[in-house]
Amino acid sequence: MNKLTLFRLLCSFWIIFALSGCGYNDIQSDDENVNATWAEVLNQYQRRADLVPNLVASVKGYAAHESEVFAQIAEARAKIGGLPNMQQAPQDEQSIKQFQQAQASMSSALSRLLVVNEKYPDLKSDQLYTNLMVQLEGTENRIAVARHRYVQAVQTYNTRIRTFPNNLTASWKGYKPKLTFQPENIESISTAPKIDFSTPSTAK
């Protein structure tokens, strides 16, 4: 092997090495942002889950016989409680699908629970119930924001690792595409229960 050939090989290796290091800090930053925004999604859904027991208890004080609604909420809570540890952003489709289905079940159950207040005008006058509903409304808004930020973070990360020469770095360092919410569940999971504080008029 002559010196010219050796020089060309060394140059080739240097170029490959240099390109493979391109964007590493950006990829790492995007990866951390995905996990941070996912953690906020979990945090806001947990806030909602923590409100549910007190909300159910306050409604039961006026509508104890609405057993079907309470059973649906209990089932939704069981699904959420059965979710695997997801402190990091989901890495497989089954995990994120299971998460979406569990949260969608809770959204549906809460929507049914909120319908109950239309039957019981006195319930809306209960201060504890009103306070819980204000907290729930705020939490649902924060859930929507957190979900949006997570989706954006995943899109930014995935675009970066698929773009040359960042894809060389991603392949070298083992960075893989992240998953976001699946289209077939995104409508149900992102539909917040409609909260109405108006007091229905009583029949004369």
Domain contains 14: no
Domain count of the chain? 1
Residue 68 is part of which domain span? Answer: 41-190
Domain contains 135: yes
Per-residue pLDDT of the chain (204 residues; tens, 9 = 90+): 566 676 666 655 555 555 545 688 899 999 999 999 999 999 999 999 999 999 999 998 888 888 899 999 999 999 999 998 888 888 888 999 999 999 999 999 999 998 888 888 888 889 999 999 999 999 999 999 999 999 999 999 999 999 988 888 898 889 999 999 876 555 555 555 555 545 444 443
Sequence-ordered list of residues with C-beta below 8 angstroms from that of 113, at least 6 positions apart, any chain: 55, 56, 59, 69, 73, 193
pTM metric for this prediction: 0.80
Q: Which two tokens stand for residue 48?
A: 């909602």
Domain contains 20: no
Domain contains 29: no
Domain contains 11: no
Domain contains 145: yes
Domain contains 22: no
58: CATH? 1.20.1440.20
